Amino acid sequence: MIFREATIADIKQIQVVRNSVTENTLSNPDLVTDEDCVTFITVRGKGWVCEVENTIVGFAIADLVDENIWALFLHPDFEGKRIGRKLHDMMLDWYFSTGKNHVWLGTAPNTRAENFYRKSGWNPTGMHGREIKFEMTNQDWENIKATKIKL
């Protein structure tokens, strides 16, 4: 398993992963274009991927402009292997290293993703459209990391 920063060359495989998920699916796969991905990993923020045997099986993208997590998805065949956790942690470490103090995300209610974010220390703050809105501060993240070290 290799974890690394995402590149433009990864976008086709990122799209395969995004469209393979069974929760938080896109109503229309054309809603997230390759050009959107380029913008989010090169201009607005940064992305990370996990590769297994030269195939991307998960990715995460943080957006500094809107101060949110734009994406964190795993191919269903690779769930439960702590890949999402590693991508999540790498993304938040980088995000808060940029000087940002706050980040948010939205996810569908009653999903594995909702449970993942709750267990990861994200704070639910209401609804964002049809999604649950979660928030995390830099201080929250530092406290979570300090707790992990003690365990």
Per-domain residue ranges for the chain?
2-150
**Dist. CA 18–CA 65, nearest whole Å:** 22
What pLDDT, on a 0 to 100 scale, did the predictor assign at position 151?
45
| Phi, psi of 94, rounded to the nearest 5 degrees | -65, -50
Q: SS3 letters for 23-41? A: CCCCCCHHHCCHHHHHHHH
Q: Which residues contact 55 (CB under 8 A, 6 or more apart)?
A: 13
Residue ranges of the chain with per-residue pLDDT less than 70 = 25, 27, 29, 149-151
Question: Helix-strand-coil percent breakdown of the chain, rounded to 5?
Answer: 40, 30, 25
Q: Helix, strand, or coil here: 67?
A: coil
Residue type, 89: D
62, 15 in Cβ contact below 8 A? no
**Dist. CA 16–CA 99, nearest whole Å:** 32
Express each pLDDT in 110-121 by its tens digit: 999 999 999 999
74, 58 in Cβ contact below 8 A? yes
89: Cα separation from own chain's centroid? 9
CATH architecture, domain 2-150 = 3-Layer(aba) Sandwich (3.40)
